[in-house]
Amino acid sequence: VLFLDTGKHFGETLDYRDRLIEDLGLTNLRIVRPPESALARNDPAGLVHGRDPDACCAIRKVEPMARAVGPYRAWFTGRKRFQSDTRRALPVFEAVGPRIRINPLAAWGTAELAGYMRSHDLRENPLVAYGYLSIGCFPCTEPARPGEDARSGRWAGRAKTECGIHLPGLERSLASSPAV
């Protein structure tokens, strides 16, 4: 299991991660972080998200994720079609360069997710109770707006809808890495 630690997660998300590790008995969790040298060079004050959220995501998400999945032929995501209009046609299998990205929950709705979590006694990120239906980094995430999709709180007020790990930038980064 890979966990992408951007350095900008809510404390609740990090606590949730640690509790899931205990609940599930995970023993081989890999925490992936942006390189300190990239942060020092491109975001020394940790504020680039405010003026250039794409650059922040490139440093804190896209590059670390490309590095993390680079050695593998395939990886799984938790993306779902109901989360936003931009994900409505999300396929279960996607080619990303020479690799396959698998979205096993693509067709699941909120009822299926809630039922599965209940029947398997899985905990929920505590921020969901406060209206955060899609949880990213704290500077760029707020509760979902009533009547809008689950991702409406991500980069609210900006044209941005994805961080980039599911966009062509990741594919370009992976193109130079051989899959094993």
Name the DSSP class of 143. Answer: P
**Do the Cβ atoms of 143 and 32 come closer than 8 Å?**
no
What is d(CA 123, CA 7) in angstroms, rounded to the nearest whole number?
A: 23
Q: Which residues pair with 9 in a beta bridge?
A: 137
Q: How many CA atoms lie within 13 A of 32 on its CB side?
A: 16
Give the C-alpha separation, 106 to 49, whole Å: 29
What are the beta bridge partners of residue 96? 99
DSSP 87-115: GTT--SEEEETTEEEE-TTTT--HHHHHH
Known catalytic membership, residue 163: yes
Name the residues annotated as catalytic. 163
